[in-house]
Structure 1
Amino acid sequence: MAMWSLLLWEALLPIAVTGANIQGQVGGSVLLVAKQPPGFQVRDVIWRSLWPSEELLATFFQNSSETLYHSRFLGRAQLHSNLSLELRPLESGDSGNFSVLLVDMVGRAQSQTLQLKVYDAVPRPTVQVFIAATRDTQSPRTCQVFLSCWAPNISDVTYSWRQEGTVDASLEPLGLLASGQVLRISLGPGDRSVAYSCIVSNPVSWALATVTPWESCHRDAEPGKTSYNDVLLLLLLLPASLILVLAGLLSAWHCSPCSGNKKQDVHANGVAPETENPPV
């Protein structure tokens, strides 16, 4: 009966939205904290999940807590003595909105809303080195390089680069392509030991991979085989070319029965004159 009374209170009173944003990592834990206003002595508490589905998670009535409700957090939710709710271990589908209803000793109620976003841990990225042939107007000892970085099976990430072993490791934005996934650099003999790191990150984790591109410069690709623009087009337009190839294959497969029928018709037309009787 007490729980239904609290739900009625919440329906009648305006909801105070706090707009708190909480971030967590898959496999980790988060603490959803109910903020108590000054002079607000809490008597009862209800924690609920609002989205993607509305579920009762935990309650506190008359100095007794309960978290054994059949929700997707069953066995993963713990109500602490300070009335905060801990969720662990987190899963990728736990992102959503949560609410807590507080009632004080004189029956005043306050509702707070919190938003949880759960991210996957960032895996170690893969960095590929593409070497462009030297232009005639450039020194033959100059090496034009594209570094391509990719993190598998991950979303909501950002890419950045740094040059190792320098005080100011930041790189010029003009050398960044494809939303930071590709770095364009020019190397000379003085850059033999210079290393570059690709850093992939989201709000809760990060990972990096480091390469020394000068080593790839002198695996001596034949001059003229790969141009500066060809490498750029390869990195930026490869998905589009794959789509065109697949479309061509599908079109050929779809039309193959038609071409077979046409061949049969031509063959029939060629045989017909031989079966006619010569004119008398």
Structure 2
Amino acid sequence: MWSLWSLLLWEALLPIAVIGAQVLSKVGDSVLLAAEQPPGFQVREAIWRSLWPSEELLATSFRGSLETLYHSCFLGRVQLHSNLSLELGPLQARDSGNFSILMVDTSGRTWTQTLQLKVYDAVPRPTVQVFIAVTGDAPALNTCRVFLSCWAPNTSDITYSWRREGMMDSAAGPHSLFTDQRVLSLSLGLRDKDVAYSCIVSNPVSWDLATVTPWESCHHEAAPGNASYKDVLLVVLPISLFLFLVGVFSMWHGGLCLGKKKKNDHTDEVAPETENPLV
């Protein structure tokens, strides 16, 4: 305990050198916060702390004796190595914050290093939907206008991009992008029948993609057994109307039956009162 208080006193009284760095990782992984020492710096004491969002003691070293048995939000998830680097993991989203190591050498010099840890969620696989642009004019059989919509759930700090598969670069060819590149507008021709497009979602530590072949969704190229939206309407609307009429008829018929039953019950109740007893 005396060693710890003396170390904190050194930090308050002596000039220190500060180095800022950023370390990126993702939820579930482990990260190593590397301690760097200036040339000729012989460490006698060292202390690791979290500075933000709360200040907590994480680990200490005194003359080579390592100690990590401190109560903190990293309890059971922290390891201090012999080179004074601190390993944290498995990481949680709330572990993002600032960390520092204060070192004192055998001659009384101090050295402080600060690190900023940023923990990201792993990017989930996105969902791509294909929408066909329909106009009042008869569509040309050799063209198709589509909109590709990409969405990744429950994730922040991600970016969207599109790639036309089979091309050397990441460009999607002639296109228009909307809503932070989440929607891609394309004009397809017969030469694009087998062309696939991928939506790529990424953050600084992970990425994933989903791929579709948009021409397959064009109504005039619907495969056998795959109805277009017009065919679906032609089938669904008559069936819906029939079911609606059946429901109305059932309600009407049920009402008639209920009325007859009530009338019969009323007749049964009145009949005994009008009956004359035999003398």
| TM tier, smaller | 0.7 to 0.9
Q: Answer with 1 or 2: which has the greater Rg.
A: 2
Distance in 2 of aligned mates of 1:188 and 1:10: 69
Distance in 1 of aligned mates of 2:124 and 2:207: 8
Distance change (3 Å), C-alpha of 1:90 and 1:166:
same
Distance change (3 Å), C-alpha of 1:217 and 1:173:
closer
- Alignment root-mean-square deviation, CA: 2.0
Secondary structure of residue in 2 paired with 1:18: strand
Identity rate, percent:
70
Distance in 2 of aligned mates of 1:15 and 1:125: 47
Secondary structure of residue in 2 paired with 1:215: helix
Contact 1:13–1:109 (Cα < 8 Å) also in 2: yes
- 2:112 is aligned to 111
Contact 1:134–1:142 (Cα < 8 Å) also in 2: no
- 1:50 is aligned to 51
Contact 1:134–1:140 (Cα < 8 Å) also in 2: no
- 1:39 is aligned to 40
Is it true that 1:205 corresponds to 2:206 in the alignment? yes
User: Where in structure 2 are the equivalents of 1:98-247 lying within 5 Å?
Assistant: 98-134=99-135, 139-171=140-172, 175-218=176-219, 219=222, 220-222=228-230
Alpha-carbon offset, residue 221 of structure 1: 4.1
Secondary structure of residue in 2 paired with 1:123: coil
- 1:65 is aligned to 66
> Gapped runs of 5+ residues in structure 2?
223-227, 234-279
| Number of equivalences | 224
Moved more, 126-135 or 81-90: 126-135
> Gapped runs of 5+ residues in structure 1?
226-280
Distance in 2 of aligned mates of 1:204 and 1:13: 38
Distance change (3 Å), C-alpha of 1:174 and 1:142:
closer
Q: TM-score, normalised by structure 1?
A: 0.75
Distance change (3 Å), C-alpha of 1:108 and 1:138:
same
Aligned-partner residue type, residue 18 of structure 2: V
Alpha-carbon offset, residue 112 of structure 1: 1.1
- 2:28 is aligned to 27
Aligned-partner residue type, residue 142 of structure 2: R
Q: TM-score, normalised by structure 2?
A: 0.76
